[in-house]
């Protein structure tokens, strides 16, 4: 079965209870709606494209992330994910075959993120946005979805113990919301 069909089937199935941080929405006065693109390349061995946020950013500096951000007023999550992917990596909307969404993901910083899964042609000329994206890389999808590489960790944050996911890939630390969304996709693909 092709990656297109496998992903479409997984995203259309009922949620198996995806993995997110152990947060209660009542902890936040108001959550900020956001969206990300989960970009998967159409290759014989599909890859997942991830960005490294610029070190000078106010929020999430240096973290590995999906292209994405806040949803602008009047914008749908789909439109926001595509806009952000273009702004951050010059991924054009007509190059993305959107397949569906994972469950919304609440972050510890108060964002309610809608992850849109989309397929891209391989070897698009990606251009990181100066000042926003320091670097990008493509990791094999099967490697990132393998539960053997998913590590559940804990830390004290805002006065209580918090749990989060971490995935290491070739010296890159993928953690928090990004890792949680990858774990959620892994669980959907396995269901």
Q: Convert the pLDDT of each residue in 55-90 to its tens digit.
A: 554 555 458 999 999 999 999 999 999 999 999 999
pLDDT tens-digit profile of 13-39?
Answer: 878 765 555 556 566 668 899 999 999
- Rounded to whole angstroms, how far apart are CA atoms 93 and 72? 17
What rounded mean pLDDT belongs to the chain?
88
For residue 69, the domain's CATH number is 3.90.79.10
Residue-level pLDDT at 57? 47
Task: Please give the angle made by the CA atoms of 88, 15 and 50, to the nearest 5 degrees.
Answer: 20
Residue-level pLDDT at 117? 97
Lowest mean pLDDT among 80-84, 94-98, 109-113, 165-169: 109-113
Number of helices followed by number of strands (H, E) in the chain = 4, 11
Residue-level pLDDT at 164? 87
How many structural domains are present in the chain? 1
Q: Is the model more confident about 155 or about 81?
A: 81
Q: Containing domain of residue 94, as a range?
A: 3-190
């Amino acid at each position: 079965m092709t990656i297109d069909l496998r992903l479409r089937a997984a995203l259309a199935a009922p949620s198996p209870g995806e993995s997110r941080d152990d947060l209660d929405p009542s902890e936040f006065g108001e959550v900020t709606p956001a969206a990300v693109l989960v970009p998967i390349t159409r290759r014989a061995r599909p890859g997942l494209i991830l960005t490294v946020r610029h070190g000078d950013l106010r929020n999430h500096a240096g973290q590995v992330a999906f292209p994405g951000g806040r949803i602008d007023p009047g914008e749908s999550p789909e439109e926001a994910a595509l806009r952000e992917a273009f702004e951050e990596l010059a991924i054009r909307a007509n190059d993305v075959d959107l397949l569906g969404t994972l469950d919304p993901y609440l972050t510890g910083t108060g964002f309610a993120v809608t992850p849109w899964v989309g397929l891209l042609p391989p070897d698009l000329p990606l251009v990181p946005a100066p000042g926003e994206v320091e670097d990008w890389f493509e990791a094999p999808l099967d490697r990132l979805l393998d539960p053997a590489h998913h590590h559940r960790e804990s830390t004290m944050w805002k006065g209580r113990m918090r749990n989060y996911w971490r995935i290491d890939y070739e010296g890159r630390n993928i953690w928090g919301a990004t890792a949680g969304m990858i774990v959620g996709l892994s669980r959907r693909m396995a269901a």
